[in-house]
């Protein structure tokens, strides 16, 4: 957080009227402050790097060979120089930019607890007293022209921070400022440089950034809305299946850039694909560095079927133009689907339910994106299903009616042993029905239930002729 005492050096500068350059160059430490940006024009989601470089002229030959902040520490009395940056605090970064890493991580990377300068408004975890919270990136020794154009040795301190624009627009970063007590030199009576504490104040130039938008004109029809630096890969699994079975097509874009306006390629509008495969809308997966579309497709033809190439376009921010991405064709082997004999629906003694491992050939519906054939259910209108359902309902009715009839018979013919025998035989036969249900044979279970109930009614109702039909059995129960 910002500490009020950290601005004391600048207030002293204003009071003394020092503007950042020495009235007599030999009496002050020449300091240069520069602010720069890695690129002046970028696109949204394309990172840029801001940097500020502080140059402090090296000490005279007869001064100790220490860096400027170490030499000046004994003269500062706890008031280190201050560096003002408009992009140091996250909350003050101009919109629409945001930092790659939060200020705590960024500031801790250059913080230290001995000597250096303070950053206005920034306190790190090393020391929560802004009065003593110091920063000092590793310095370099470089030569560069001084104010008089003479090549001079400087200590160079550089601070960098990466920002990312989220939308188009123009941004101006205000000038960076540096001021405080440093150790300068003055010439003595013998014209020899002598160390002397001085107040310095310098200011950089502002920095301008233009965030471009993707050109709206001349966009290709197959543009997927990406802009940045991307590559992709396309995969299809499995490579062998039957007609109508689901295949999984995965399209993965990976790279750096904007995915805000990304849209999935419309496979149904690609004639070569629509001719060979039935396609369904894609689902999405988004990761740290990828954008994935997952499709379910179903082959229409058998044989050695080649999934055609897919061509899409995206805007490349380095080349500043739309580029095409093209996937290679994928070979598959498609077999004919197993056909169900309709006559099997009316034949007795056959299983009506599909086998547990039999692939379900579903053309559409909510199960279209299932990629496991064992995970789907037949969604077509199936005579087998409705026959089993109606048979089950009829048998349930007979069971309830027989139960009612049984109660009446128990009251009227309690001492009759044949009835008790019929009940015991029916109970044993019903117990065997569980084996048919567990073996996934609903039709056989329905037939056996019908036979048990009809036999039971014939045994307990006096005068019932042998070989009655289900309809006659229901009529007997109703009359009883």
pLDDT tens column, 306-347: 999 999 999 998 888 899 999 999 999 999 987 645 444 444
C-alpha dihedral sign at 335, 341, 342, 348: negative
Which of 232-236, 263-267, 373-377, 462-466 bottoms out in mean pLDDT, i.e. has the lowest? 373-377
Higher pLDDT, 218 or 2: 218
34 has a pLDDT exceeding 60: yes
Higher pLDDT, 467 or 365: 467
Crossing angle for the helix pair 383-412 and 470-479, to the nearest 10 degrees: 40
Give 151: exposed, middle or buried? Use CB within 10 Å, 0-12, 13-18, 19+. exposed
* Residue 247: pLDDT band with limits 50, 70, 90: very high
pLDDT tens column, 59-113: 765 555 678 888 777 777 668 899 999 999 898 999 999 999 998 888 888 887 6
Six-digit token pair at 155?
Answer: 């200590």
Q: What is the pLDDT of residue 10?
A: 46
Cβ–Cβ < 8 Å for 279, 273: yes
pTM of the model: 0.54
370 has a pLDDT exceeding 80: no
Higher pLDDT, 77 or 361: 77
209 has a pLDDT exceeding 70: yes
% pLDDT > 70, the chain: 67
Higher pLDDT, 350 or 194: 194
Domains assigned to the chain: 4-211 (no CATH), 223-335 (2.60.40), 383-479 (no CATH)
Higher pLDDT, 352 or 168: 168
% pLDDT > 90, the chain: 35
Higher pLDDT, 291 or 2: 291
CA distances from residue 249 to 56, 296, 345, 368, 421 in whole angstroms, order as listed: 60, 6, 36, 13, 64
Q: What is the pLDDT of residue 384?
A: 63
Higher pLDDT, 224 or 366: 224
Six-digit token pair at 300?
Answer: 């229409």
3 has a pLDDT exceeding 60: no
């Amino acid at each position: 957080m910002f500490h009020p005492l950290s601005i004391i050096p600048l207030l002293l500068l204003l009071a003394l009227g020092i503007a950042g350059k020495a009235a007599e160059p030999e009496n002050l430490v020449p300091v240069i402050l520069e602010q720069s940006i890695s690129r002046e024009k970028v696109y949204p989601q394309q990172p840029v790097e801001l940097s500020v470089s502080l140059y402090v002229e090296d000490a005279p030959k007869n001064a100790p060979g220490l860096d400027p902040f170490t030499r000046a520490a004994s003269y500062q009395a706890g008031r280190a120089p201050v560096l003002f940056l408009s992009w140091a605090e996250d909350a003050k970064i101009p919109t629409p930019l945001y930092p790659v890493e939060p200020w705590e991580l960024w500031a801790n990377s250059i913080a230290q607890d001995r000597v250096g300068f303070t950053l206005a408004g920034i306190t790190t975890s090393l020391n929560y007293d802004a009065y003593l919270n110091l920063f000092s990136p590793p310095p370099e020794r470089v030569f560069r022209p001084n104010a008089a154009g003479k090549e001079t040795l400087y200590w160079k301190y550089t601070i960098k921070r990466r920002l990312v624009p989220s939308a188009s627009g123009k941004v101006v970063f205000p000038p960076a400022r540096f001021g405080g007590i440093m150790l300068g030199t003055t010439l003595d009576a013998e014209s020899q440089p002598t160390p002397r504490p001085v107040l310095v104040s310098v200011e950089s130039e502002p920095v301008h950034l233009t965030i471009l938008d993707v050109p709206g004109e001349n966009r290709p029809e197959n543009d997927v809305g990406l802009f940045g630096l991307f590559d992709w890969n396309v995969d299809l699994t499995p490579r062998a299946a039957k007609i109508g079975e689901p295949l999984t097509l995965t399209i993965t874009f990976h790279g750096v850039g904007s995915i805000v306006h990304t849209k999935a390629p419309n496979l149904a509008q690609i004639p070569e694909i629509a001719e060979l495969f039935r396609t369904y809308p894609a689902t999405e997966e988004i990761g740290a560095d990828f954008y994935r579309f997952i499709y379910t497709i179903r082959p229409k033809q058998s044989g050695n079927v080649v999934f055609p190439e897919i061509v899409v376009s995206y805007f490349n921010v380095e080349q500043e133009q739309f580029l095409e991405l093209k996937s290679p064709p994928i070979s598959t082997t498609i077999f004919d689907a197993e056909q169900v004999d309709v006559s099997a629906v009316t034949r007795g003694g056959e299983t009506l339910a599909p086998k547990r491992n039999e692939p379900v050939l579903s053309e559409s519906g909510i199960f279209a994106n299932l990629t496991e054939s064992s995970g789907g259910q037949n969604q077509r209108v199936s005579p087998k299903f409705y026959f089993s359902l109606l048979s089950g309902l009829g048998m349930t009715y007979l069971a309830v009616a027989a139960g009612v009839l049984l109660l009446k018979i128990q009251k009227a013919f309690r001492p009759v042993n044949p009835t008790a025998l019929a009940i015991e035989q029916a109970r044993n036969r019903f117990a065997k029905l569980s084996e048919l249900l567990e073996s996934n044979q609903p039709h056989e279970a329905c037939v056996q239930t019908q036979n048990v109930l009809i036999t039971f009614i014939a045994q307990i109702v006096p005068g019932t002729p042998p070989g009655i039909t289900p309809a006659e059995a229901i009529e007997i129960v109703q009359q009883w």
